[in-house]
Amino acid sequence: MAAATFAAVFVALYIGHSVGDHWVQTSCQAAAKGGSGWSARLACGKHVLGLTLTKALVLAPVALALDLTLSAAGLLLGFGIDAATHYWADRRTTLAKLAAVCGKTEFLTLGTPAHPLHPVTAEGKPAATLGTGAYALDQSWHYLWLGVASLIIATV
């Protein structure tokens, strides 16, 4: 039963993450959250709050429909760890420092003019890309912690 609960919780949190990170987050929050100062920290906090509420709103009907047994402690701990790690990564400089420690700085810049092999237009100007290394590292970090949060929610 724990494995099925884990799977159901993970799917719900993954859906909630995608909606919250891309539809619920405002353009202002996305632009400001990685900056310096209290206004940037507040923007990131508002984003994480909206994201966490979105995940909870997606998980609630799943838990009810599938009759999942979830404890308040597991929910608080799981959502708390997920929110804290999401905030940490979305401040951007923190994830960039981790990427540097892991030897991923070149990948972090993939898809941006900072990358040594960035794509260019026929005129030699930076060409648009469908994604960046920074986005891929950001999302994979979030997925890791969605898994941890799901395990906690399913088992505590």
Distance of CA 125 to the CA centre of its chain: 31
Residue 52 vs residue 104, higher pLDDT: 52
Split at pLDDT 50, 70, 90, the class of 117 is low
Average pLDDT of the residues in 115-140: 77
Measure the CA–CA gap between 143 and 89, rounded to whole angstroms: 12
User: What tokens were used for 1?
Assistant: 């039963």
Can you give the pLDDT at residue 121?
A: 73
Q: pTM for this structure?
A: 0.87
User: What tokens were used for 137?
Assistant: 């590292």
Can you give the pLDDT at residue 124?
A: 75
Q: Is residue 120 within 8 Å of 111, Cβ to Cβ?
A: no
Average pLDDT of the residues in 96-101: 92
Query: Which residues lie below 8 Å from residue 120, measured CB to CB, with a gap of 6+?
Result: 126, 127
Measure the CA–CA gap between 21 and 47, rounded to whole angstroms: 8
Instruction: Determine phi and psi for 58, rounding to 5 degrees.
Output: -80, -40
Bridge partners, residue 126, by sequence: 120
Question: Domain residue spans in the chain?
Answer: 2-155
pLDDT tops 70 at residue 32: yes
